[in-house]
Amino acid sequence: YFVDHNRRILYWNQGAERLTGYAREQVLGKSCADGVLTHIDSEGNCLCRTGCPLEASMQDGKAREAHVFMSHAQGHRLPVWVRSATIHGRGSEVIGSVQVFSDDTDRLQTLHRLREMEQTALVDELTGLGNRRYFDRAINASLEAHARHDAEFGMLLIDVDHFKHFNDTYGHAVGDKVLQLIARTLMHNCRAYDTPTRWGGEEFAIISDRITAKTLHAT
């Protein structure tokens, strides 16, 4: 769509109608800042009042692009990729702007799937703690911080005694609940910058950053 220097919509094509649900006659002559399209960012901030990429393009003449959300005529939010550029008159003055936008749903769905895959790869399904792979990442990060900045850290290894006998006596379902209870206990008693993980089986490991030998003696 095209807007003039007051951001009043002058042109609205069929692609814009299809994506937004707004017919041309519903938007022509209206300002895009009047809440017709209601562009917002991923944090929920309304860009029509502050941070509008289209308006910014008209102010400095530079093209812009952004991943934002737009209000659909049926009331739901539509993820879109917008690209804005200025329109110049016969001289060098800016007389308006054009914004091209496309459906961004596929990109968001792909990002969501990647986050799910990453979470599945790093989180122990039974306890919700970080798994062995997550522990490896965390311990490497702590070792790197120690090498670069001499940052001290500690590590605790926790093993549940006689767990095999417990499983054989009461069954694996009860054993799983015990592991979950232990995991919740660790999570609720660790500091914000401690990293509790399930090492494997009935073994747990905690990486404790920002701790020194003096701290341990004090506790």
Residues annotated as part of the active site: 202
Neighbours of 70 (CB within 10 A): 21
Q: Coil, strand or helix: which one is 83?
A: strand
3-state helix, strand, coil in the chain (%, to 5): 40, 30, 30
Q: How far apart are CA 56 and CA 33, in angstroms?
A: 13
Q: What are 140's strand-pairing partners? A: none
**Amino acid found at 217:** H
Q: Coil, strand or helix: which one is 114?
A: helix
**Amino acid found at 115:** R
Q: Which residue matches tokens 């399209």?
A: 37
